[in-house]
Each structure stands twice: as C-alpha cells, then as structure tokens.
Amino acid sequence: MKRQRIDGQETRQALLAAAGEVFAKKGYWEATNADICQRAGVNTALINYHFGSKENLYVESWKYIFQKSIEKYPADGGIPADAPVRERFYGQILSMMQRIADPANHDFDIIHKEMANPTGLLDEVIREAIEPLDQNFQSLIRELFDKTGTEKQVTFTHMIIMGQCFGPMLHLRRAQGGGDSPPGKKFPPDFTIEELARHIVQFSLAGISGIRKPARSLPEAPYSRLLRNHCKRKP
C-alpha cells in the first residue's frame, strides 16, 4: 500500500520538519534515519531518495527550520530602524531570546549542538545565516559606544553580551526539554523572557558606560599580579 503523492514536495517537507525536531532533540549522531522517517510517517528509504544522504538532510533541514524561525522572529524585534538606539538594542536582544526560547523553534538547539559537538556539516550554512545578524548587532553596539570605544572593546563587548543572552537560554531549553532534568535553583520560579531581556539591557548599558569612562580604573594591585598566566593563546 503505497501512499502515492502528486509530487514529492509534501514528503520532502515532512522530512525536513521531522528531521529538524529529531536532530534538535538528539543531535546528528544519535538521531537515526528510522527515527526521522517514523516521525515524518514515511518510508526509511525516502531520505536517501529525496536528499541523497543523512548528511544532506541535516543541512537542508537546518536551512529550512532557520528560515521559519527567522520569519517568526525578525531580527529587529519589530522596532523601527529610526527608533532610539536603546530601543533597537532591546528589540534585537528580546527577539533573539524569544527565538531561542520558543519551544517550537529548533534552529538554535542544533547550532548549540554543533558548537559542542561539531559535525562540520553546517559550518558554512550557519555562518552565512548568522553573519549578517552578527554584524548588525555589532554595529549597534558600536553605536552604543558612540564612537568612543576601541575596536577591541567593541568586539569584547559584543562577545560577552551574546554570552549573556545565550547562557541563560541553555538552562531554559534544558528545563523545557525533559521534564526530569532539574531546572535547578538558578531559575526564579516566575520569570519572563522580557524581564530577563530588560535586565540584560539595563546591565549592559551600564556596563558599556563603565567601559567607556571607568569610574575608577580596575585595581591592578596588589593581588592581580599574583594571578597565574597560563594560557595566553596557542602560538
């Protein structure tokens, strides 16, 4: 009993969506073709028929779900381009966090797994997708520095603000994922993404100000000198 369709598009899409979910949940290596096809309700052989290989499906499915994800949560968070910079800053941060936090979205889960356990298969496609967003965000930070920051300060600040956004989201995703993994005491019992985003914005605006005109320069002495200095970077 074959489920014959007009063309393969329906099957293709079912596979792309199912693959996104399974890859996001289990990662590339633990996910099996059988898993994916079962969830998609199609025959196992169709992955190779439509995509040629598991690797290809992996790439295609990430592109697919990332596109859906970015459509649902545009990068600017809906803030007009002529709004004050703080508003746009808040908009981008909130949008990013909402995109990650939405349990229906899986693109970030896969990115995270790729960072932890790279297959290398998504390197190029993720870079292409993320780079524009990244540069957008970085120029916004540069704007917040109001042309007073060095390049290095901007880069560092960019990196650590991204860390502020992603870090807590990892815990949130874990807490969402399995009902068993302890959310830990870290999460206040009643918090919203908006609240956290506002905390980050407030914290970071003050942080940037602190970088721009250090109230008191961070004391170099007396103990800091003692700190060991093991890892500079690979020669």
Partner DNA sequence: AATGAATGAGCCTTCATTCAT
Partner DNA sequence: GATGAATGAAGGCTCATTCAT
Least Å from the CB of residue 17 to DNA: 14
Nearest Cα residue to 201 out of 163, 157, 161: 161
Residue 166 binds its own copies, judged by CB under 8 A: yes
Binding residue for its own copies (CB under 8 A) from 59, 75, 83, 133?
83
> Per rule CB under 8 A, is residue 70 in the interface with its own copies?
no
| Number of residues engaging its own copies in binding (CB under 8 A) | 96
Contact between 152 and its own copies per CB under 8 A: yes
Q: Which of 78, 85, 136, 148 binds its own copies (CB under 8 A)?
A: 78
Tell me: does residue 98 bind its own copies (CB under 8 A): yes
Look-up of token digits 């996910």:
31
Question: CA–CA distance from 75 to each of 55, 72, 133, 137 (Å)?
Answer: 28, 10, 7, 9
Residue 191 engages its own copies in binding (rule: CB under 8 A): yes
53 binds, among DNA, its own copies, none (CB under 5 to 8 A by kind): DNA
Which two three-digit tokens encode residue 225?
Answer: 């000198």
Q: Catalog residues that contact DNA under the rule CB under 7 A.
A: 1-5, 7-8, 10-11, 31-34, 42-50, 52-55
Q: What is the DSSP letter of 225?
A: G
10, 28, 176, 202 from 36: Cα distances, Å: 15, 11, 21, 43
Q: Give the count of beta carbons closer than 10 Å to the beta carbon of residue 18.
A: 21
For DNA, the closer of residues 50 and 173 by Cβ is: 50
Check binding of 133 to its own copies (CB under 8 A).
Answer: no
- Compute the least distance from the CB of residue 174 to DNA, in Å: 23
CB of 44 to its own copies, least distance (A): 11
Among the listed ranges 6-14, 43-51, 56-64, 113-121, the one in contact with its own copies (CB under 8 A) is 113-121
The first and second tokens of residue 117, run together, are 């356990």
Here the contacts of 73-80 (C-beta below 8 Å, separation 24 or greater) are 73/98, 73/99, 73/102, 73/105, 75/133, 75/136
